[in-house]
Structure formats: C-alpha cells, structure tokens
Structure 1
C-alpha cells in the first residue's frame, strides 16, 4: 500500500515541472522524475489489484 501511494505521488506533476528555477536544473530533475515515473508505472502494473490483496483464507 505504501509503495502504491509513493508510486501514485511520483506520477503526479512535480513543482519543478511547473516552475523551473534554471534550465539545467529543470532538465536534471525532469530526467530523474521520468525514471521514477517509469519505475512507478512498472510497480503499479506489477502490484495485484486492491480487492485481491491481502490474500485471505
């Protein structure tokens, strides 16, 4: 559940996307968030649906 929340938070646009302070910094953060977003998409795809989790008797 925590991992899913973190992944969804990463999917949301960041403050730096809206107001970059400098172009180099903006590009660096964009690269980093793109990698995090890709990882988040993979995590959300791998995680089983909420209603089947946790597995019960």
Structure 2
C-alpha cells in the first residue's frame, strides 16, 4: 500500500502520514544498526573460535 492510499483510507493528510513515517524510521534506525553490529560481532567470535590455536 502506498502512502497516498493509506492517507486516503484513513482520511489523513498525506504530509502528516509522511512525517510520521520519517519519525518512525529514524527511531528504528539506531536499533537496526546496533543489531547489525551485534550480529557482526557474534559472527566474528564464531570465526575466532574456529581458528586453530597455533595461529
């Protein structure tokens, strides 16, 4: 569903819906970035555990 379709369906101004979408994306972005970092770190830890001890 597009922003325009949603705003028409809910009888909301288009710009208001766009503004809230931007706000929500900004709030979620740091969480997504920190989750990616945790995922990357955990992958590196697995790789380190798989390496032979002589290296």
- The TM-score normalised by the length of structure 1 is 0.46
Structure of higher RCO (CA pairs closer than 8 Å, 6+ residues apart): 1
Structure (1 or 2) with the greater helix fraction: 2
- The TM-score normalised by the length of structure 2 is 0.48
Bigger Rg, which one = 2
